[in-house]
Amino acid sequence: MITKFRGLNISSKDPKRLALFYQDILGFAMLDSDPNYDGVTFGNHSGEPMFWIWDENNWGKANTGTVTLVFDCDDHDATYRELKQKGVVLDPPKTASWGGKELFVKDPDGNTILIL
């Protein structure tokens, strides 16, 4: 049966733009490289789930709509300020009804990024 969640595929009509957003704006490590940014892998630590960005023009859609990626951060206010300085349009972090802080960002393809 299933033993672990490995990761998530995201397709993009502009995979280079999307990959550089995750690398340069959000600071994720690109674990491999491809001159066409097709099938690039992102992750932080060995054993944690990863995500891959695929060229939708070559492979078709990997998903049927936008996705929500959920990440953790150490300091919502500092993360908010850093993203604003990088030109990202976003609202300040808010306390959710369940009591935790949430910060929402959209990537260039319209996928939602929820930072907890």
Q: What is the pLDDT of residues 15-65, one digit of tens each?
A: 999 999 999 999 999 998 889 999 999 987 677 889 999 999 999 888 777
Is residue 26 within 8 Å of 32, Cβ to Cβ? no
Q: How confident is the model at residue 2 (pLDDT cuts 50, 70, 90)?
A: low
Could you tell me which residue, 100 or 67, shows the higher pLDDT?
A: 100
Q: Does the structure show a pLDDT above 90 at 4?
A: no
Asked whether 108 and 11 are in contact (CB, 8 A), the reply is: no
Closest CA to 56 of 42, 82, 38: 38
68 and 75 in contact (C-beta within 8 Å)?
Answer: no
pLDDT, averaged across the chain: 90
Task: Output the pTM of the full model.
Answer: 0.85
Q: Which two tokens stand for residue 16?
A: 């280079």
